[in-house]
Amino acid sequence: MISDRVRSLSPYKTETTPARIKLSSNELSLELPEFVKKRLAEEVSRIPFHRYPDPEARLLKEAIAQRFGLREENLLLGNGSDELIYYLSMAVGEFSRGIFYPVPTFSMYGISAQALGRERVEVRLKEDLSIDLQESLRAIREKRPALAYFAYPNNPTGNCFEEDKIKSIAEEVPFTVVDEAYYHYSGKSFVERALSRQDTVVLRTLSKIGMAGLRVGFMVGNEEVVRELNKLRLPFNITFPSQVMARLMLTEFYWLIEEHVKEVVRERERVYRELRRMEGIKVYPSEANFILFKSLLLPAEQLHIRLVEEGVLIRDFSHMVPQCLRVSIGKPWENDAFLEALEKVLKTLDK
Ligand SMILES: *Cc1c(COP(=O)(O)O)cnc(C)c1O
């Protein structure tokens, strides 16, 4: 007896097509030097994994707090920020009231709402990918959602919405979540606002800075909000290896992550410039570690397939944004391979 709520869901989609170069999931291309791997292996080999891990993941929480200049009381850790999105959708407001988010955006806001039987109050972004404030406020006044999600920067579009528009909408809904999964690439944050009020929280994750496989996300919020949401948290939601490895990366080896993040920001600007001068491509500016672009000469699905044939996997988003694809920024050689493959495919069209 599976409910209609669940039957009507579509599973979270991700690209699993095998390819030589994978630029489809906004991961950080992080190649660990041997000595780092050895150090991680050492620590992991000491884990008494017949025991439950620390349910509060205290040492990891301490490392996150120190690394990002936060206090432990303001942190709630999740098995990826995906888990925290579920908790927020469960905890905020009654289920009879909906959840607002501009679209296209990250699919988990809608999936969590639908799974709980909550109305999805979706408002399309404008042609330039900015928030349609008038239409958003109209929808909110009509439907009275209890919660608003903003991905900041937004995925898959790559832009940060205007701060003033987010604040205007936040004034009209009881609770606001600012999902800063790509904070390290934008440098823009609502953390101060979240810490000073009870109606706003920020989500962050280690996934986009080289630790996607560890599944560690965190919420930053007022102590009171953290305490309440913590009651929903599944016990032991951060595995023992994840607690140990993430802590080590944030303390001893964070310099390595910082270097890679800087390189990605540099590469993002280079890839953007290269895409801009390609005929048949319209590219959108990005403050994240990926770029959205439109294919003007070839249907996006076909371009996607042609790139896979060239050994490069990116993400086709044409189901969400007409004719658009999203490419993650990788190491310089990976980005070169993408640009060359794209150029090659486009060239065959001229004739
Ligand atoms: C990738 C992504 C997440 C998911 O992060 P996890 O911590 O890996 O669950 C959340 N929000 C946005 C906008 C993302 O792009």
Q: In the block, which residue shows the tokens 């044409």?
A: 318
Distance CA 283, CA 327 (A): 11
User: Which strand (E) or helix (H) includes residue 241?
Assistant: helix 240-251
pLDDT score recorded for residue 149: 98
* Ligand 1 atom index nearest CA of 83: 9
Q: How far is the CA of 26 from the centre of ligand 1 (A)?
A: 9
Q: Could you give the CA distance from residue 216 to residue 212 in angstroms, rounded to a whole number?
A: 8
Going by C-alpha positions, the residue among 156, 125, 88 that lies closest to residue 324 is 156
pTM surpassing 0.95? yes
Q: List the structure tokens of 112.
A: 């969590």
Query: Which atom of ligand 1 lies closest to the CA of 207?
Result: 8
Q: Which residues line ligand 1 (CB under 6 A)?
A: 26, 80-82, 106, 151, 155, 179, 181, 205, 207, 212, 217
What mean pLDDT do residues 200-212 have?
98
Q: Which domains are seen in the chain, by residue range?
A: 4-26+255-350 (3.90.1150.10), 48-251 (3.40.640.10)
Q: Identify the band that residue 350 occupies on the pLDDT scale cut at 50, 70 and 90.
A: low
Query: What mean pLDDT value characterizes the chain?
Result: 96
Distance separating alpha carbons of residues 326 and 46, to the nearest angstrom: 40
Indicate whether 13 pLDDT > 80. no
Map residue 40 onto helix, strand or coil: helix
The pLDDT-based confidence of 351 (bands split at 50, 70, 90) is: low
* Residue 80 pLDDT > 80: yes
pLDDT of residue 52: 97
> Model confidence over 89-125: pLDDT tens digits?
999 999 999 999 999 999 999 999 999 999 999 999 9
Q: What is the DSSP letter of 32?
A: P
- The 10s digit of each residue's pLDDT in 252-309 is 999 999 999 999 999 999 999 999 999 999 999 999 999 999 999 999 999 999 999 9
CB-based contact 98:121 (threshold 8 Å)? yes
